[in-house]
Structure 1
Amino acid sequence: MNARPAIAPIANAWDSFRGVAHIGHIANRRDYEEATRVADELLEMGAIREAHPSHSLFMTICDLIAAYDQRHHAMPEVRGVQVLRFLMEQHDLKQNQLPEIGRQSVVSEILAGKRNLTVEHIKNLARRFGISPAAFF
């Protein structure tokens, strides 16, 4: 490797690491599968805990996996109203069965896009359905 003196130790260590771990930039499906295999093993070892000695490695691999997923399997943006519709469908709910929002007319206006979900609505819905309020943002 033809690296500058200050970078040479890092580059050499990186080459050694890649040779052992087979982890680095995820360019294809095979790289992705290897990265997820290593991440799963680290997860089983408890590396998700911040105090674990391999936590930083685990988080770095997760970041690489997330970047690959974003490039190759990007999820469409979902609005809060779409989440609400999905939850209503999954729980077979009608507009008048959401006291967390208020009257049926308020729910109707929200679903029609005439009104927005408020912070209070979101907190109440998240509590009812056991999901993160972030799902609505």
Structure 2
Amino acid sequence: MSILIKTVAEHWEYVAPLVRKPKSEEDYDVLVRAVNEILEITGEDESHPLMSLLDIIGDWIEEWDRTHHPMAEASGEEVLGYMMREHGLTQSDLPGVGTQSVVSEILSGKRKLNLRQIRWLAERFNVPIEVFI
């Protein structure tokens, strides 16, 4: 038996909960807590040895979330309303979309965003245009 495998075997009971995909919400919660603890240790140090473990656990959490906690799709108009609230903007703060009445009609669902407006919003909020499509 190699020294690496021997060392892993000696510490497996402590490591095992972190190196398996979640099979339950409890497993998922353990991994989320582990990510938070690892982030406290690593900070923004991309070269920290625990970053590879963080990547693995993060992928498993993301996969679990997609399968068990799917996010509802939001329309571009709903995203616009959210972004306005988050940035403290009023309807008249978006001249690239149109007048206050045009923005009002978009937010109320009476009018859809067009491609020109979507491009302007994506640039204004520095997000991909897909956010508003």
Q: Assess same fold via TM > 0.5.
A: yes
Residue 82 (str. 1) matches residue 81 (str. 2): no
The equivalences for 1:1-137 within 5 A come to: 16=9, 19-21=13-15, 22-23=17-18, 24-46=20-42, 49-88=45-84, 91=88, 93-94=90-91, 96-104=92-100, 106-107=102-103, 110-111=106-107, 112-113=111-112, 115-116=114-115, 117-124=117-124, 126=125, 132-134=126-128, 135-136=131-132
Q: CA deviation at 1:106?
A: 4.7
Following the alignment from structure 2 to structure 1, what is the Cα–Cα distance between the partners of residues 101 and 114? 11
State TM-score, norm by structure 2. Answer: 0.68
SS of residue matched to 2:42:
coil
Residue by residue over 1:13-64, the C-alpha shift from the partner in whole angstroms, topping out at 9 and shown as x without a partner, is 8x84753221211010211121112111110111653211111111111111
Residues 118 and 29 of structure 1: CA distance in aligned 2, closer, same or farther (over 3 Å)? closer
Residue by residue over 1:60-85, the C-alpha shift from the partner in whole angstroms, topping out at 9 and shown as x without a partner, is 11111111111111001123221112
Where does the alignment leave 5 or more consecutive residues of structure 2 unmatched?
A: none
> Which one is further off, 104-113 or 51-60?
104-113
Residues 60 and 47 of structure 1: CA distance in aligned 2, closer, same or farther (over 3 Å)? farther
SS of residue matched to 2:62:
helix
Coordinate RMSD, CA, aligned: 3.0
Where does the alignment leave 5 or more consecutive residues of structure 1 unmatched?
A: 1-8, 127-131
- Which structure has the highest helix share of the two? 2
State TM-score, norm by structure 1. Answer: 0.67
Which amino acid in 2 is paired with 1:119? R
Q: Give the 4+ runs in structure 1 shifted more than 6 A.
A: none
